[in-house]
Amino acid sequence: MEFTIFQLISIALVGAIGSMLVNRGVAVFNDGLRPIMPEYLEGRITRKELAATSFALSFGLIIGFGIPLSIGAVIIIAHSILLACDIIGIWTPDNRKGMIISGIVGAVYSIGVCLGLQFIVDLFNQLPINFLDSLSLVGTPIIISFTVFPAVAVGYQHGIKKAMSTALITFIAYLLFARFGSFTVASYDITLSPEGMALLVGMLMMIYYAAKVKGEGGSTNADLVNIFAERVSKIRKNRWLLALMGGLIALVSAQLILAVDAMPQALINEGKYTEGAIATFARAIGFIPLVFSTAIVTGVYGLAGTTMVFVVGLIFRDIPILAFVLGAVVMYAEVMLLSVVTKSMDKLPGVRDMGEHIRTSLADVLGMAILIGSAMASEEIAPGIGFFWVMGFYLINRMAKKPLVELAVGPVAVVALGILVNILNLVGLW
């Protein structure tokens, strides 16, 4: 993973601006932290309590999920940088000096992660047993697994019969595009990805079922907008700073520095950029209701908005500057349309509720895929005991007083096993 000066400047700006936005209480990346921010901003908890909460919510995901899955990958998972912005921004003082410090620390940290990952890769290459190639297997099941999430989301929302029909049609679409997805038109060779097209079919069915749900004429979201109009106004006052952040995130996405999650990261690692953009788009749809509703209630927006800016970056990866401009426009539009989109969700309650089911299904599919991939990687590192190691690590972690986040367990187990095998090799026991 080699970085140019322009790439390092870009990621430094993301870390700096992101940390400063968090420091001023304008935005955070962790959705679990956003509802707690007003508690501090309105004087009900102290800065120290907020800092402790931000650390508890984000540190495990950075160390156990973002960093391990980014080692040796083509692209870094955004959690490694943006969750750290939450911690840095909140742990620095709530004043002008603290804002400047947060920007400097955020920039240095972001550059450090990029260069540090390359250092780790170089270090692993010097080990007697290099498990870096095996580590890449962690993301292998994700590539095909993500096509099933629409069926899982449909099941959560509409029941098992519709889930089974969605899964069956998705599977048939995959087989058809795998068999007939390559053809020539006007001397141009066209290849349609079976994974990407199957996902698209599944998503269309998911949206179709959700759109059929009839509302009862309620105005839940409209009431929220009216009640918290002052907090919406606060977000809009910072629209230009948020637009700058959106442009920078789209820029680093276009340069293949940051991916929004492990699912698109696995696809990008395989050079499947279109599929990565589709997976990112699907994820963004699921987060629109959550980000918008929590933003309205708290007055604190998301550092990456609905994460649609990552899609912009992947689509315009050949023209990074255009990605920056369009990313800024998308983030600006999100902020300005915050109230309108939220109110409109009342007219399509099924689509509004679909977001929660998308997030749940993505977490389920991703968690299982990473666990299976981790077991495959561990078995390649240590044939015969790899599955034992990961399953034991996973189940025993559940019993711990302070367990690791489940998404992080598999990758941490793989890295731990790789280090253990090298230690045993050095003392002559492997």
pLDDT in tens, 136-170: 788 888 878 888 999 999 999 999 999 999 999 99
| For residues 110-139, average pLDDT | 87
For residue 296, pLDDT over 90 is answered with no
The predicted pLDDT at position 96 comes to 94
Phi and psi at residue 97, to the nearest 5°: -65, -40
**How many residues belong to the chain?**
430
Phi-psi group of 256: left, alpha or beta (phi > 0 → left; psi -120 to 50 → alpha; rest → beta): left
Characterize the bridge pairing of strands 301-302 and 27-28: parallel
Distances in Å between the Cα of 430 and the Cα atoms of 53, 123, 379, 412, 427 are: 42, 20, 15, 21, 8
Which residue in 288, 335, 330 sits closest to 309, CA to CA?
A: 330
The predicted pLDDT at position 41 comes to 87
SS3 label, residue 329:
helix
**What is the value of pTM for the model shown?**
0.86
Mean pLDDT of the chain: 89
For residue 219, pLDDT over 70 is answered with no
| For residues 101-117, average pLDDT | 95
The predicted pLDDT at position 215 comes to 63
Q: Are 289 and 343 in contact (CB under 8 A)?
A: no
Residues of 21-52 as b/e, b for ≥16 C-beta within 10 angstroms? bbbbbbbbbbeebbebbbebbeeebeeeebbe
Percent of the chain scored above 70 by pLDDT?
96
**pLDDT-based confidence at 385, cuts 50/70/90?**
very high
The predicted pLDDT at position 405 comes to 79
Cα end-to-end span (Å), the chain:
30
184 DSSP assignment? E
The predicted pLDDT at position 413 comes to 92
| For residues 303-328, average pLDDT | 96
For residue 350, pLDDT over 80 is answered with yes
For residue 7, pLDDT over 90 is answered with yes
Phi and psi at residue 190, to the nearest 5°: -120, 130
**pLDDT-based confidence at 175, cuts 50/70/90?**
very high
**pLDDT-based confidence at 60, cuts 50/70/90?**
confident
Q: How far apart are CA 226 and CA 217, in angstroms?
A: 17
Which residue in 70, 68, 76, 90 sits closest to 18, CA to CA?
A: 90
**pLDDT-based confidence at 221, cuts 50/70/90?**
low
Percent of the chain scored above 90 by pLDDT?
52
| For residues 220-242, average pLDDT | 81
For residue 398, pLDDT over 60 is answered with yes
SS3 label, residue 242:
helix
Write the DSSP string, 124-161: HHHSSS--HHHHGGGGHHHHHHGGGHHHHHHHHHH-HH
The predicted pLDDT at position 173 comes to 93
Phi and psi at residue 253, to the nearest 5°: -65, -40
Q: How far apart are CA 81 and CA 113, in angstroms?
A: 8
Q: Which of 58-62, 81-85, 414-418 has the lowest mean pLDDT?
A: 58-62
Q: How far apart are CA 395 and CA 392, in angstroms?
A: 5
Phi-psi group of 305: left, alpha or beta (phi > 0 → left; psi -120 to 50 → alpha; rest → beta): left
